[in-house]
Every structure is written in C-alpha cells, then in structure tokens.
A and B are shown apart, each in its own frame.
Chain A
Amino acid sequence: MAKQLLKGNVAFAEAAVRFGLQAYFGYPITPQSEALEHLSGRMLREARVFLQAESEVAAINMVYGAACCGVRVMTSTSGPGFSLMAEGLSYIAGSEIPVVVVNMMRGGPGLGNIQPSQADYFFMTKSAGHGDFHPIVLAPASVQEIIDMMGLAFELAEKYRTLVLIAGDGSLGQMMESAELPPMQPLPALRPNWAVTGADGREPNVITSLYLVAEHLEEVNLRLQAKLADIRQHEVRFVEAQTADAELLLVAYGTSGRICTSVMRQARQKGIKVGLLRPQTLWPFPAQRIGELCEQVRGILVVEMSAGQMLEDVDHAAGGRVPIRFHGRMGGMIPMVDDVLADLQALATSLGLAP
C-alpha cells in the first residue's frame, strides 16, 4: 500500500476496519469524533456494525455485550467519556474478554479542554476501574504507529483475553501526516470457543465477573494476576535511540516522546551525550530496561504532558540510582523543544557533563 496523508483519528479507525473490526459503538466527543464519523459510513459499506450510542456508558456496555459474543469490537473516546466507561472497563477486565478502547487524551481534570494531554496516564495504567487489574496500554507517537498499534491491540486483546487501551492524545488524533495503511484483512472465520455463541451440543459458556464466594473470587484474582505477570514478562515494548554511549536519558512517550527525538538531536549537536527511551507500552512499563540504563547514564529527564505521572514509574524503576528531573506541561500545552533542551542542559551542567 502506498503512503497517504491521514488524520490520526481517521487512520486508527480505518486501520481497525482493515484489521477486522466487526462492531464499533461510540459517542461523539472532541478530539476524537472523526473516528466515529469515519466508521459511521465505512462499517456500513463493509456490512459490519456501527452504532452511535446514547452515552459512553451505553457504548462500553454495547462493546461488553458484543465482546461476550466473540465479536472483534472497540470503542473510542476522550477523557470525560473514558471516565464514564470505567465501570464497564472493570467488568470487562473481570470477565476476561478482549476489548480495545482508544482514549485520545485531552486537558483535564473535569471538562478541562479539548487540547492534547497525557494526564490520563495513572487512570489508564493503574486504575481504569475498580478492583485488581491492569489493561495493556499502548502509546503511539505518530499516525503510522497508531495504525500499527491497532493491529497489535486486537492481537494482544485476543491472545490474553484482556482489555487493551490505546493512549493517544488530542494532537495525535487531529494531526495529519503521511502513513501507510495495512491491506484489508479477512474477518475471523470462527468465533472463539469461550464466547457465548449458543450451547447447542456443548456445555454452556458462562461469562461473568460475579463470584460471591470469597475463596472462588480469590482464585479468579490469582488467575488474573498470573495472566498479568505473563503479560508483564512478554509484552513490554519500547523504542530506544542513541543510548549506546548516553550519559543522560530522556524518557517520554507519545507526542512528548516525539518531541524528545528532536531534543535529543539538538542536544547531540551541542555535544551532550543523550539517549531516548520511548515506552510503547505504558503497562507493562519498561521498568527493567530503565533500571539497566541507570547503571550507565548519570541522570534522567522525564517529559510528559501532565504534572508527572509516568515520572513515578521511572522513579520506581531508577530506585534512587540517578537523579531524575521532570519537564511537564499541562492544560493542553505541548512541551517546546527549546524548553526541554534548556532543562536537559541544566541537568548536564549540574552533573558536570556540560560540553
């Protein structure tokens, strides 16, 4: 397929169709409504299901229902809508069914605004609903990566029967850039054997998150935790650049990660030996690799569009071995290369590394 100019929201929606999305349920919210609009026509032309729900609560429960039937299903939203979905996300996690949700983060808390943000990090990685669970959280940094991660999201969701979230932000959803879509893939021929498909000739499948007996629920909890441990071991993904000789390390994801690529390039021109680690999975988090790099680098600068949320995971991974600085913008503001570079230079100077 040739590259074409694509808007992030349209790109992930179209990629989902090509990766075999069978049903989409959503509710309009800026800055991701273009995805819903794209799918409103596209899904119908493919004779698949599209429905604009009456709320995000309805949307996530429609997703829940379709997923129980073994249908490849997703929804997409932004901050406030994602908050509304939290109850459903918890039930989906407890029921162990594959579901993909895209959250194009916007400024918060509350109504906030419709500008890009990364302030849903805690919410998405650590507390997307009540109870003990973590979704897999993927963090794309370009339109191409959103496309690629849609395929990965469905794959991981179905492999582990788990909730997969894609943590985008308003700028990724709204920006247009050149990207390549995958070819159209065939829909799954069979529905999975755990799904509710009619119990003719077999034992009924029961999908539930209700276990009234404490011992039973604890068994389920332990099984869920074992699955999460498996995911933690096998599904950590990140991009590393120029770390071989790095004395300083930038850690940033998504849009901030992309900005830090420019910061790194300019810092290198100034003679600062800096590398970049950009997590592509926020959960599971590349804590081990950051820990390893702490044996090599002298300091870390974390950059986020938040008050410092991933910062806590980096801090935990570093375990006090190197100083950590933070550069954060909030309210829909995007970090500027010059400002991050200034903080990086200050860190270098404080460590006696300035050229």
Chain B
Amino acid sequence: MPDEPRASDYKSDVKPIWCPGCGDYAVLAALMRAFAHLRLAKENITVASGIGCSSRFPTFLDTYGIHGIHGRVLPLATGIKLGRPETTVIAVGGDGDGFSIGGGHIPHAARRNVDLTYIVMDNNIYGMTKGQPSPTSPEGIVNKAAPYGAQEGPLNPILLALSYDVSFVARCYSGKIKELTDVLIEALKHPGFSLIQVLSPCVTYYNTYDHYREITQPLPSSHDPTDRLAAIALALQTETQYLGIFYRDSSRPSYGERFDAVRAKAPQTTLAAIFEGLKR
C-alpha cells in the first residue's frame, strides 16, 4: 500500500484570499486532511461552489473545481455527480448562498439523496458584500443594512436539514479542526446526500469565535445518530450549539442507484425501432 498522501498534496498554488483568521481556512485544511485520510485521488474529486467568500474554495484546491452561480451549487453539483458518477463531488458555500438564495434546492437534493457532500460555511453574515444580515444572523443584529436591528429571526439549518430528511446531518465548528476533519471523513464516506453546517466565523464583519467557544459542545455521547427524533430534539436546543453527527441513515439508496433501478425498467430500443413506430 502506498504512503498516505499528505493534506498539502491537495493544495493548489493559489493562496487563499480570505481575511487572516477567517474560519474558512480551517475548513479548507480539514477537507484536505479528510481527502488524504481517505486516499482520494485528486483527479477523482470535484469541488463545486456558489458565490460568497467561502465559495472561493475550489480555487485553493488542486482538484477539479467549478465556481458556480449564487445559490445554485446543489443543482450544479447534482449535474456533476450524474454526469460523472465515479467522482467524489463536494459542494461548498456559505449561509447566504445555501440558506437564502439557494435554500429552495436543499429539500430536492435531500429527497433525491444525491451522493454529495455539502459543506456550508456558516458565518451568520454576508461577508463578501461587506456585512449585511444573513438568514442565520440572530434577530436584532445591527449592521450596515440593519441599522436598527434585523427584524427576521435566524433559520435553524440543522433542524431544516432534519425536517427535509437529509440522510447525513452534522454541525462542526472551524475552531475544532480535528473534530471537523473526522466528521468530513464520515460525510465523504456516506453514500448519499450529506449536509455539514460548519460554524465558521467572519473576523471582519461578525466575529463570533468567543461566542461559539462558549456555546458549542459535543453531542451527548448517548446520542444515537440513527434516531431522527432525538436528533431533532437536540437541533431544537439553540442555546447550546451541539457539534457532531446529528443524524445518519446509510441504508437509503442514493439517487444514482435509484436512477439505475428505474432505468432498468425502461425498455431498450433503437432509433430504427422508433422510426418504425412512427410509421404506423
């Protein structure tokens, strides 16, 4: 068996342009470590993204990558996976990209159970456009586009994913890179759609490192990740942000498998037979 590849093998020669201290550095490092741990060949990985600071991600990896359209990373990644089923496809983006403009695509990726790993780097703010409230900003947050406080309450991404019946749901914190790497390894191995919310603070417009250090803790060791109701109960606890794998159902067929099964039922035909049929 050849030596395990190094995480740095997956790094491109483009230096990340994120602000010093941005949580996304840890996610990039953890994902490369997960690739190395799983000995994935670079040429068999595609990383797709939407728009936002975190969506600069594919540029910094020496894998295949597509920097896509704002909010559309899941359809984009679905197309890649169905076009090249043998590749490992990772979708990345932020909370604005994934839960605001792109929120409508999550339930459909979930019900198809496309074999994708979707990493949402959630900084609770629109960082790239310089600090407007995002769909996970706390109610009352004061910033440039909410000088008197945002009126909307935040989404609960884990609860949403569980309600949509995403087959692998996890929350991580970029301040805990070891645990993040372990979860990403599990997510990459998961044969279906996995959604990982990574609390990934924006040091420039909404620095939440201290806050998350205080309110995050690992899921109770007694938690059974096949118990969806228990997962939902834990997701409902927002005062404490639990970290780890909330839910995992590895028994469900992926979209590819279901597609193959349905296609097998369609009769084989030839172009000549179709033309013949039209004559009658």
| Residue interface mask B63-106, A partner, CB < 8 A = 1 | 00001011100000000000000000000000000001101000
| CB interface residues, A 1-37, toward B, < 8 Å | 27-30, 33, 36-37
**CB < 8 Å neighbour of A28 from B67, B69, B132, B135:** B132
Q: Contact partner of A27 among B101, B130, B146, B147, CB < 8 A?
A: B101
B146 touches A40 (CB 8 A): yes
Contact A111 B101, beta carbon cutoff 8 Å: no
A54 touches B145 (CB 8 A): no
Decide: A36 near B101, CB < 8 A? Known: A28-B132, A54-B135.
no
* Cβ B145 vs Cβ A36 within 8 A: yes
Nearest chain B CB to A149's CB is how many angstroms away?
Answer: 24
Whether the Cβ atoms of A40 and B70 lie closer than 8 Å is no
Q: What is the distance, in angstroms, from B189's C-beta to the closest C-beta of chain A?
A: 32
In whole Å, how far is A352's beta carbon from the nearest beta carbon of chain B? Answer: 51
Cβ < 8 Å to B, chain A residues 28-56: 28-30, 33, 36-37, 40-41, 44, 52, 54-56
Interchain CA distance A225-B103 in the complex, whole Å: 38
- Most chain B CB neighbours (cut-off 10 Å) among A36, A52, A111: A52
Residues of A within 8 Å of B, CB-based: how many? 17
Asked if B51 and A111 sit within 8 Å, CB to CB, the answer is yes
**CB <8 Å contact, A54 and B126:** no
* Contact-size category for B: 20 to 34
A323 contacts partner chain B, Cβ-Cβ < 8 Å: no
- Are B148 and A41 closer than 8 Å at their CB atoms? yes
| Interfacial chain A residues near B126, Cβ < 8 Å | 28
Q: How far is the CA of A54 from the CA of B133 in the complex (A)?
A: 10
The answer, yes or no, to whether A80 is at the interface (CB within 8 Å) is yes
Q: Which of A33, A37, A40, A54 contacts B103 (CB 8 A)?
A: A54
Nearest B residue to A58, CB-CB: B101
> Is there an interface contact between A54 and B100, defined as CB atoms closer than 8 Å?
yes
What residues on B are CB-neighbors of A30 within 8 Å? Answer: 128-129
Residues of A near B51 (CB, < 8 A) are 111
Cβ-based interface call for B252 (8 A): no
B144 within 8 A of A: yes
> Are B130 and A33 in contact, with the CB atoms below 8 A?
yes
For A54, give its contact among B101, B129, B130, B147 (CB under 8 Å).
B101
Closest to B126 in A: A28
Question: A29 vs B103: C-alpha distance in the bound complex, in angstroms?
Answer: 18
B132 and A37: CB pair below 8 A? yes
Q: Which of A28, A40, A41, A44 has the most CB of B within 10 A?
A: A28
Chain B nearest CB from A58 CB (Å) reads 8
| Most chain B Cβ neighbours within 10 Å, of A29, A55, A56, A57 | A55
Q: A27-B101, A111-B51 are in contact. Are A52 and B145 (CB under 8 A)?
A: yes
- The answer to whether A41 and B129 have CB atoms under 8 Å apart is no
Residues of A within 8 A of B132 (CB): 28, 33, 36-37, 52
CA distance A33 to B126 in the complex (A): 11
On chain A, the residues within 8 Å of B128 by CB distance are 30
Q: A57–B102 Cα gap in the complex (Å)?
A: 11
The answer to whether B147 touches A55, judged by C-beta atoms less than 8 angstroms apart, is no
A37 contacts across to B, CB distance below 8 A: 132, 144-145
A residues in contact (CB < 8 Å) with B: 27-30, 33, 36-37, 40-41, 44, 52, 54-57, 80, 111
29 pairs across A/B with beta carbons < 8 Å? A27-B101, A28-B129, A28-B132, A29-B129, A30-B128, A33-B129, A33-B145, A37-B132, A37-B144, A37-B145, A40-B144, A40-B145, A40-B146, A41-B147, A41-B148, A44-B147, A52-B132, A52-B145, A52-B146, A54-B103, A54-B135, A55-B71, A55-B100, A55-B101, A56-B101, A80-B69, A80-B70, A111-B67, A111-B69
Q: Which 4 A-B pairs have the closest CB atoms?
A: A55-B101, A28-B129, A41-B147, A40-B145
